[in-house]
Structure 1
Amino acid sequence: MTAEVKSAAPGGAAPGTNELALALERRIGKRSAAVIEKHLGITTVGGLLNYFPRRYMNRGELTPISEVPLDEEVTLLARVVSSSTRTMRARKGTLTDVVVTDDAGTLKVSFFNAYRAKAELLPGRRALFSGRISRYNGALGLTNPDYQLLDEDPDLAGEDPEKLAAMPIPVYPATAKLTSWSIHNVVKTLLDTADLAALPDPLPADVAAREKFLPVADSYRLIHTPETPADWQRARDRFRYQEALVLQSALARRRAQLAAEEATARRPAADGLLAAFDRQLPFTLTAGQSAVGKTLAAELARDSPMNRLLQGEVGSGKTIVALRAMLQVVDAGGQAALLAPTEVLAAQHFESIRRTLGPLSRDGLLGGFGADAVQVTLLTGSMPTAARKQAMLDAASGTAGIVIGTHALLSDNVSFYDLGLIVVDEQHRFGVEQRDVLRSKASKPPHLLVMTATPIPRTVAMTVFGDLETSVLDELPAGRAPITTHVVGLAEHPAWATRVWTRSREEVDAGHQVYVVCPKIGSDDDGDFSPGEAGPADTDLEDSGARELASVTGVVELLRDEPALAGVPVAPLHGRQDPVLKSETMASFTANQTKLLVSTTVIEVGVDVHNATLMVILDADRFGISQLHQLRGRVGRGGLPGTCLLVTTLEPGHPSRRRLDAVAATTDGFELSQEDLKLRREGDILGASQSGGRSTLKLLRVLEHEDVIARARQDAWTVVGGDPSLGSHPALAAAIDDYLNPEKEAFLERG
């Protein structure tokens, strides 16, 4: 039975009380407040006032009974003609049949064990009915719909029919036990009892005047009880901008706080490691790499900490840019730490950086640069005890200029001599707590560079990483070959399953290598998805669990018996393997001894094998757009054209095939990131979940409201620039504290 919310006389509030923070029961009574808390988790006046309708229906455009569509949600405005209740024969309980009419047609509405409907839906009464139309015994009808009596609504009693028809109906996010109508009723009670005139306005007066926004009290009334569509639209525009300004002001305030910190300036050396490194580079930096490098060099030379986000396409050369920044810090007597999300990627960075430095690395592959060379040290959790202790000693003593590691760098017993720069690779894999642990190991706030190869739409960058300066590398270095991507639909072309392996053999016979990516490790595994990238919540799979997904262990066995691959050295790679075995497997593939690598997504980032030209992604529909884009970036890295095959058993019309088609249609990561955000329904932009689900943004949508976000961002910079502590804007400061709960605050700091 639907939970009912009863009106109650409010208790008084003490003078000066923060109305928004007031306990809800003080305004609507204990009984109603208990229902709201139980079903919506809301306990304060502000929480309920800001529980906005998710949409509005127009009574004048309600579905006529004569036109109701089968198996669709409808809302009807109708009068009860008759009502009858009988005991059911096939099951316990009663069935109440209510016949309703809108004078253009009639419809039967049925309720099971609905004592409230039996008592309330009496002949002559008018009500709104909302539910899904179904067919029973050849006739259309509604079963157990939500309904709202109109005759007993004092706000609507005696209203002119034309005015009633034009009056929008707020529809709230409801629960199975608490209908939208019930929520609306208690919100109306709150609007009558709350001291709306005492509510502070977070918007600066000049901004509110410029935008011609309604006052706060009027906006709350009109967004919950509009008489015309223009009412709720004006109120919504005000609260949407307010949300954007509060969020952008929080980011601007954090940026101001970071800028006020004192860091150690790491100025370039006239003829140090960085200069020597640039002289020995066998290629010319791209224009983008040079421009970003100059920006980083200038910011590292300041005595306030650099906080910069570097985003760039897979293979755009971010690592070289980061390495040059690290060398500048080493030249200035400091240390740099590179934090990587996996041991495979940390080891790849370690080998790649030592190889790139060559004789400039103290343990360089080509000798050494004498006492002036930089020592590069690797620190991971799986290293032998003696090696790990030595790495920790090198970091603590300052012997190691560059320390590359995984979460092991965050251990309490790891310390640094003079940590000057933190580079975080694939920043979305780390939380604020982990980054802050590393920051705390520096005597002064260190400079920070976070990198991602997952393109971020401009609006998301403004909304989530607004406290960071952003640089973009959008051109590929010379020698990068194009990647061609094809969707291999086995549902419509089952014979292509064999062709995939024949195609793999052709690459091997041409002297090249192949990646095969699987969503699972073994048959007992649920999947190897990155957070927020795939899985039933993100893929809209109706057959989740109904089909056996490809696993590394299963595919390895299959391919060893595949005639087309006879004699081809095949090896598995996944996260559960012993670290030594993983390293040996990658070394074998890098050395072109293993020709075909069957892997999970551990090869998603950082793996750099120039001879690999073909990637086969099995059950590709189980991965998100950005993950597929990252994966295919592993091929075509050595000047040879790359090919990516997205293999799926889903039917062509399945929703998850849209992602595959999008990835196959373009290699533009920023275009894909926009599409990804659309398909993922924006998700929880400010929370831990990054796909599906309900966004913690209330009225703001980062794809739709770029202009709003940009204007609010400019206003926030102006306000915070003139008043960093917001001492002259107490209402805005309070709104930030209220809006940014710990989870949101933590996410904003992840940059």
Structure 2
Amino acid sequence: MEPNNSSNLLETPIQYIKGVGPRRAHVLESLNIYTIKDLLYYFPRKYLDRTSIQLIGSIETDMEVNIVGRVKSVNLRKMKRGSFLTATLADHTGSVRLMWFNGSDYIYQSLKAGDLIAVHGKVADYKGNTQIVHPEYDKLNANEISLSTGFVIPVYPLTEDLKKSGLDNRNLRKIIYLALDSLSKIEDHFNTKQQEDFKICSLDSALRNIHFTNSIDKLDESIHRLKFDEHFFLQILLALRKKKIKENRFTPIGFKTKYYNQILKNLSFELTGSQKQVLREIIDDFLSENPMNRMIQGDVGCGKTIVSILASSVVVENNYQVAIMAPTDLLAKQLYKNFKSEYEKLGVECSLLVGSLKSKEKKVVLESIKSGNSKIAIGTHALFQKDVAFKNLGLSIIDEQHRFGVNQRQMLLKKSSVPNLMAMTATPIPRTLAITYNGDMDLSIIDELPKNRPDIFTSHIEKNNLDTAYNFIREKISIGGQAIVVYPLIEETEKQDLDAASESFDLLTQNIFPDLTVGLMHGKLDPDQKNKVMKQFMNHEIQILVSTTVVEVGIDNPNASVILINNCERFGLSQLHQLRGRVGRGELTSYCILCSDSGSPNTKQRLNVLTNSRNGFEIADEDLKLRGPGEFFGERQSGFIKFRIADLTTDGPIIRNARMKAFDIIDNDANLDAPINSLIKEKFDNEYLQLFLKTTVN
């Protein structure tokens, strides 16, 4: 392919690159590589630094080496179960044996005595002689380009289909090299001034050096630029979405205080400073003509529920309805209980809408919501179904909002007269994640524990010390407390985990605590049975509750003072912090015992974070470093951006810079109409517009 200035060349079908053809093109298409542009954005998964070349005479066992020499001999040997190939490579200082078991027939056709090659691999010892098994190599001659020696070598993700089609790393590098060689210059969506302002290199330099560079500094610049691009365009999407929300105008909700003051008067405790601050921010949203779009982020036990109850009172007194959506029946019922206890005193009707309702009960609830008699509707996913109609919905509250997809939230908002959205989470989210996944929302943080909350002492034991933990539980129950014993329930091993929890329940009931009342709770119980167990635990009829992680949210028993979490190494730190928050909700000094089946240093390091801190935001930051963003969002954000190279764990400074630049551009050019932004708009329209339209309420 001849060099060409046209950016259209990037759209050339992949099969027309030398060395690809229809068969390999079909394999590449399975990886969403259809064009030269797609190929250039297939980034290496790691790099090998081969900038130094060693002499064969100096190499030693276990060294990773980069050597250059001439092939002295090549031998293919047949065996009953295949074949293997050996070659002798020599320079002026010595020789070494090379050996391949996989792909030996192919290499035999390619490698000949007399070839000058560059080799990279790990040196091993075989009967006193040095050898390198399965080395990577590149031929060096007048007709071929060495893509390895003396460079920082890219190593690409390879599937079995790629390997079977002959696209190993060596051939993939050659194809990418030829693709880049066919382009004289890659057009940039940022002009020179923007590149300087954003402190990034050109796209042309980035895409060339991400694949082939002779400088670590240039490689770092390239990675920085390509990460910046991904974060920048996501932030453009969020900035546009935020601006779109603010474009809407509605009648403000006045700050009527009759209900608000009555609820405050009925409280047995005083609000914390951060609760008061967050309520001021919420009231300011109500008084604005723009709809609310706010995330309330509270640490475990910081009292976000009472904030939502007080905020709702203002909306209800203005003759609007409130919808509160929770991810589980258990949490919805807990919220319903909390709201009803306050609003019954005011003569305000609350309704519960969950999937377990009988059809006759559901019909009554739906009619009450539709007529407007029910001012507060609390429920699960059932709330955004087609058969639910509100008379005058003025506030939608999404609890544990990260458990819902973007589209599910939008479905509820579309039922609103005024699309005020208040999302809440008791899972502290690191700031880099918050501004990435919720960057279109205003953020409020409740980070003060109520003054009356007791200490929770956290300790870590190994499985062989469980008897000590059981004795401690018995001691605390003898003075009136209750305990929770948690077993993991992981989706991939759900059946085994459920069996383990049931077996442990039998063990605790029959052998360990035969004289105490032990209950079992897990997600597979039918709703009536689940409600019965929970009611018994709340009424102190059950002293020890054995449970899977269904207790992570929704249990608010002030008498529970001990939680024992088994196989804690299988949980993320933030999830352990959530589980710990099931105790310490009353006046009793409380205890969290972490029991692990692993003595690895990594496990101890992780658990030390939890034993040393009750600050959920500190724990979340550590969890992000140790386990990555999947711990917070998992597959529930699967409809969102999938990054090629960006990394939320390490990209904090890049994210903040990209966010600032993106929001500045949208503030000054809301529709990206300015000539300076024309190529930004073109890329956004091509790659992000559909996502924007899909996730934004008009």
TM-score normalised by the chain length of structure 1: 0.84
SS at match of 1:576: coil
Match of 1:555 among 504, 511, 515: 504
CA contact (8 A) 2:3 2:183 kept: no
Provide, for residues 12-62 of structure 1, a one-character-per-residue CA deviation record: whole Å limited to 9, x for no partner: 99x8x7554453345667448616624633112322222233444332346
1:442-521 → structure 2 map (5 Å cutoff) = 442-444=416-418, 446-490=419-463, 494=464, 496-520=465-489
Cα distance change of structure 1 residues 60 and 191 upon mapping to structure 2, 3 Å threshold: closer
Match of 2:151 among 158, 161, 167: 167
1:182 aligns with 2:171: yes
Which AA in structure 2 matches 1:573?
A: M
Match of 2:222 among 213, 220, 235: 235
Deviation at 1:347, TM superposition (A): 0.6
CA contact (8 A) 2:295 2:422 kept: yes
Cα distance change of structure 1 residues 64 and 289 upon mapping to structure 2, 3 Å threshold: farther
Deviation at 1:635, TM superposition (A): 0.6
Task: Indicate the residue corresponding to 1:632 in structure 2.
Answer: 580
CA contact (8 A) 1:379 1:403 kept: yes
Match of 1:439 among 413, 419, 424: 413
SS at match of 2:578: helix
CA distance in 2 between partners of 1:193 and 1:431 (Å): 42
CA distance in 1 between partners of 2:572 and 2:646 (Å): 24
CA distance in 2 between partners of 1:687 and 1:510 (Å): 41
Task: Indicate the residue corresponding to 2:38 in structure 1.
Answer: 47
Task: Indicate the residue corresponding to 2:317 in structure 1.
Answer: 331
Task: Indicate the residue corresponding to 2:655 in structure 1.
Answer: 709
CA contact (8 A) 1:550 1:618 kept: no
CA contact (8 A) 2:335 2:378 kept: yes
Match of 1:290 among 276, 279, 283: 276
Task: Indicate the residue corresponding to 1:527 in structure 2.
Answer: 494
SS at match of 1:85: strand
Cα distance change of structure 1 residues 443 and 194 upon mapping to structure 2, 3 Å threshold: farther
Task: Indicate the residue corresponding to 1:587 in structure 2.
Answer: 535
Deviation at 1:583, TM superposition (A): 1.2
SS at match of 1:325: helix
Deviation at 1:170, TM superposition (A): 2.9
SS at match of 1:240: helix
1:27-38 → structure 2 map (5 Å cutoff) = 30-31=21-22, 34=25, 37-38=28-29
CA distance in 2 between partners of 1:244 and 1:740 (Å): 12
SS at match of 1:329: helix
CA contact (8 A) 1:83 1:96 kept: no
Cα distance change of structure 1 residues 314 and 84 upon mapping to structure 2, 3 Å threshold: same
Deviation at 1:745, TM superposition (A): 8.6
1:644 aligns with 2:568: no
RMSD over equivalenced CA pairs, Å: 3.2
SS at match of 1:461: helix
SS at match of 1:508: helix
1:1-150 → structure 2 map (5 Å cutoff) = 9=1, 18-25=8-15, 30-31=21-22, 34=25, 37-38=28-29, 40-61=31-52, 67=59, 70=62, 74=64, 76-89=66-79, 91-101=80-90, 106-112=95-101, 114-130=104-120, 141-150=131-140
Query: Which protein has the bigger helix share?
Result: 2
Which AA in structure 2 matches 1:378?
A: L
Task: Indicate the residue corresponding to 2:265 in structure 1.
Answer: 279
1:414 aligns with 2:388: yes
Cα distance change of structure 1 residues 35 and 78 upon mapping to structure 2, 3 Å threshold: farther
Cα distance change of structure 1 residues 610 and 19 upon mapping to structure 2, 3 Å threshold: farther
Percent of aligned positions with the same letter in both sequences?
31
SS at match of 1:337: strand
CA distance in 1 between partners of 2:349 and 2:55 (Å): 78
CA distance in 2 between partners of 1:464 and 1:219 (Å): 26
Cα distance change of structure 1 residues 188 and 469 upon mapping to structure 2, 3 Å threshold: same
Which AA in structure 1 matches 2:400?
A: E
| Equivalenced residues, count | 685
Cα distance change of structure 1 residues 581 and 10 upon mapping to structure 2, 3 Å threshold: farther
Provide, for residues 388-414 of structure 1, a one-character-per-residue CA deviation record: whole Å limited to 9, x for no partner: 111111111111111100111122111
SS at match of 1:88: strand
Task: Indicate the residue corresponding to 1:600 in structure 2.
Answer: 548
CA contact (8 A) 2:395 2:416 kept: no
Deviation at 1:103, TM superposition (A): 5.6
Cα distance change of structure 1 residues 175 and 656 upon mapping to structure 2, 3 Å threshold: farther
Deviation at 1:106, TM superposition (A): 4.2
Task: Indicate the residue corresponding to 1:268 in structure 2.
Answer: 255
CA contact (8 A) 1:329 1:421 kept: yes
Match of 1:391 among 360, 365, 385: 365
CA contact (8 A) 1:572 1:598 kept: yes
Task: Indicate the residue corresponding to 2:627 in structure 1.
Answer: 680
Deviation at 1:243, TM superposition (A): 2.7
SS at match of 1:100: strand
1:698 aligns with 2:644: yes
Cα distance change of structure 1 residues 156 and 277 upon mapping to structure 2, 3 Å threshold: same
Cα distance change of structure 1 residues 127 and 470 upon mapping to structure 2, 3 Å threshold: farther
SS at match of 1:449: strand
SS at match of 1:40: coil
CA contact (8 A) 1:167 1:229 kept: no
Deviation at 1:421, TM superposition (A): 0.9
Which AA in structure 2 matches 1:231?
A: K
Provide, for residues 701-734 of structure 1, a one-character-per-residue CA deviation record: whole Å limited to 9, x for no partner: 3343322222221111111011111122232123
Which AA in structure 1 matches 2:586?
A: G
Deviation at 1:657, TM superposition (A): 4.7
Which AA in structure 2 matches 1:507?
A: K
Q: Structure 2 unaligned runs (5+)?
A: none
Match of 1:354 among 332, 337, 340: 340
Which stretch has the larger CA shift, 626-635 or 576-585? 576-585
SS at match of 1:527: helix
CA distance in 1 between partners of 2:219 and 2:143 (Å): 20
CA contact (8 A) 2:66 2:119 kept: yes
1:195-210 → structure 2 map (5 Å cutoff) = 196-197=185-186, 199=187, 201-203=188-190, 205-210=192-197
Provide, for residues 76-108 of structure 1, a one-character-per-residue CA deviation record: whole Å limited to 9, x for no partner: 33324433434434x233221123346666433
CA distance in 2 between partners of 1:628 and 1:134 (Å): 45
Deviation at 1:191, TM superposition (A): 1.6
Cα distance change of structure 1 residues 148 and 273 upon mapping to structure 2, 3 Å threshold: same
1:670 aligns with 2:617: yes
Which AA in structure 2 matches 1:173?
A: P
Which AA in structure 1 matches 2:96?
A: L
TM-score normalised by the chain length of structure 2: 0.90
Provide, for residues 664-693 of structure 1, a one-character-per-residue CA deviation record: whole Å limited to 9, x for no partner: 2322212221221222245599973789xx
Task: Indicate the residue corresponding to 1:161 in structure 2.
Answer: none
CA distance in 1 between partners of 2:54 and 2:454 (Å): 56
CA distance in 1 between partners of 2:575 and 2:315 (Å): 33
Which AA in structure 1 matches 2:644?
A: K
Provide, for residues 376-398 of structure 1, a one-character-per-residue CA deviation record: whole Å limited to 9, x for no partner: 11011111222211111111111
CA contact (8 A) 1:516 1:599 kept: yes
Task: Indicate the residue corresponding to 1:531 in structure 2.
Answer: none
CA distance in 1 between partners of 2:402 and 2:653 (Å): 26
Cα distance change of structure 1 residues 654 and 235 upon mapping to structure 2, 3 Å threshold: closer
Task: Indicate the residue corresponding to 2:245 in structure 1.
Answer: 258
CA contact (8 A) 1:19 1:195 kept: no
CA distance in 1 between partners of 2:55 and 2:431 (Å): 44
Which stretch has the larger CA shift, 479-488 or 241-250? 241-250
Cα distance change of structure 1 residues 655 and 608 upon mapping to structure 2, 3 Å threshold: same
